[in-house]
Amino acid sequence: MRIVIVGPPGAGKGTQAAVLSDQLGVVHISTGDLFRAHVDGDTELGREVKNYLNSGALVPDEVTNAMVAQRLTDDVCRNGFILDGFPRTVAQAQALEELLRDRDCGIDTVLELDAPEDEVVARLLARGRGDDTEDVIRHRQQLYREETAPLLQFYADRLVTVPAVGSVPDVTARALDALRTRA
């Protein structure tokens, strides 16, 4: 199964993607985690993207797309994956379509985690990651509305939406049900 998980920052994409990838036996690919590992490891890519992450801005598409292309090998495509945090723009989604066409596969389902903005902002403030200051959070929410939400239209034919409020296991159960309707 090849899945994209989308939703505003703080909706629980990372948490759900980790649990779902485990249960479904597919790879979890988080572009945020990949970037943070590069920043922590002080690699050349890490130094290049650090300021974008700190300010909550999007890393330029060519950098992000190249990193994803490297991660999405033929084997990963065959065995399935959950993409978390990518694509974040329609341009990235178009690049992903092209990449997957080259690998002879495609996205089966786009799982949207839906949660009200007040709720997700409160969760992020409580999480307290380095880029979870109020200004940066507000910027990331705005980018989500402007750049990422249009993906819901782009993927309308493959989209399932689940409410992302309640406990982690409740949301997972809803997500698995929703994914089953698409299998």
Q: How far is the CB of 180 from ligand AMP (least distance, A)?
A: 26
88 forms part of the interface with ligand AMP (CB under 6 A): yes
Q: How far is the CB of 127 from ligand AMP (least distance, A)?
A: 10
Q: How far is the CB of 183 from ligand AMP (least distance, A)?
A: 26
Residue numbers 48-67 binding ligand AMP by CB under 6 A: 52-53, 56-59, 64
Question: What is the SS3 assignment for 46?
Answer: helix
Q: Total residues at the site for ligand AMP (CB under 6 A)?
A: 16
Q: CA 166, CA 73: separation in Å to the nearest integer?
A: 35
Task: Return the number of the residue (134 or 177) whose C-beta is nearest ligand AMP.
Answer: 134
Indicate the residue whose CB is closest to ligand AMP.
32
Exposed / middle / buried, residue 48 (Cβ in 10 Å: 0-12, 13-18, 19+): middle
Nearest alpha-carbon partner for 65 in 82, 88, 44: 88
Q: CA 99, CA 113: separation in Å to the nearest integer?
A: 25
Selected range binding ligand AMP among 17-25, 81-89, 101-109, 169-177, rule: CB under 6 A: 81-89
140 forms part of the interface with ligand AMP (CB under 6 A): yes
DSSP string over 129-158: -TT-SHHHHHHHHHHIIIIITTHHHHTGGG
